[in-house]
Amino acid sequence: MPILVLFANSLVNLLYVSADVAQLGVMTSDYCVGLYSVTFGVYVAGQFGAQGHLNPAVTIGFAAFGFFPWSQVMPYLLGQFLGAFVGAALVILHYYPHFKATKADEGNSVGIFATGPAINNPVFNFLSETIATFVFIFTFTLLNLGNFTQGLKPLIVGFLIMVVGQALGSMTGFALNSARDFSPRLAYAILPVPNKGGANWAYAWVPVLGPIAGVLLASGLQALLK
């Protein structure tokens, strides 16, 4: 999880804070999150014997319908949320001079670390996160990949997230992952980031609960069909 957040937030950070070095546009797209952050995060998790659950929504949803043991849920959730916080803290440390050089109205906002809606409508924003996560989990058969830390499966997962983001992500920035949004938002709120803006906590429930609802629906349908 720290790898996912470190890569993902660093890519977004390059788009917002003041920097003296130009980056290739292809390297700073939001869709690179799937290819770089998730893929290598899953590979790292697999090397330590984990099942590549970088996402609390996946852990909870899979456990609810018997695809993952409940006895492992709390350790996974703890690792996911703490790992995401550590990843965000590393981004703040790494880019500290650039945060210091960038005011809130110039791009130093929580959007570097967490998602936000293109149009603020909580009900439809929640539905967007739910639908996008459902499609990611069910339509692209994440439930049928087995142990998705092996071989090229992490790359497949990365491409799936890229496709979902391109197709369904523009409404909300496609969190798809409760820890990936909540923990970096918390880190931005409580750590001493210079010139920072607000954390937009009023919206925070959407990217936390929307993905959980999406995985629950996908897992439930999978269990019903099988």
Residue written as token pair 């920072």: 196
Mean pLDDT computed over 195-202:
95
Cα–Cα distance between 113 and 92 in angstroms, integer?
10
Give residue-wise pLDDT tens across range 93-150: 999 999 999 999 988 999 889 999 999 999 999 999 999 999 888 875 556 666 666 6
Are the CB atoms for 214 and 137 separated by under 8 Å?
A: yes
Residue 8: which of 173, 127, 166, 156 has the closest Cα?
173
Give residue-wise pLDDT tens across range 40-87: 555 555 555 555 577 899 999 999 998 889 999 999 999 999 988 998
Per-residue pLDDT at 6 exceeds 90 = no
Residue 32: which of 142, 159, 128, 133 has the closest Cα?
159
Are the CB atoms for 61 and 219 separated by under 8 Å?
A: yes
How confident is the model at residue 19, as a pLDDT? 47
How confident is the model at residue 132, as a pLDDT? 92
167, burial (CB in 10 Å: exposed 0-12, middle 13-18, buried 19+):
exposed
Are the CB atoms for 195 and 102 separated by under 8 Å?
A: yes
Beta-carbon contacts of 49 under 8 Å, excluding residues fewer than 6 positions away, are none
Helices (H), the chain: 2-16, 32, 39-47, 56-64, 73-94, 96-100, 122-134, 153-168, 178-190, 205-225
What's the pLDDT band for 187 if we cut at 50, 70, 90?
very high
Are the CB atoms for 129 and 175 separated by under 8 Å?
A: yes
Are the CB atoms for 145 and 153 separated by under 8 Å?
A: yes
Are the CB atoms for 83 and 37 separated by under 8 Å?
A: no
How confident is the model at residue 20, as a pLDDT? 45
How confident is the model at residue 170, as a pLDDT? 83
Cα–Cα distance between 12 and 135 in angstroms, integer?
24
What's the pLDDT band for 22 if we cut at 50, 70, 90?
very low
Per-residue pLDDT at 162 exceeds 80 = no
Exposure on the CB side of residue 69, measured as CA atoms within 13 A:
5
Cα–Cα distance between 197 and 189 in angstroms, integer?
9
Compare 143 and 224 and report the one with higher pLDDT. 224
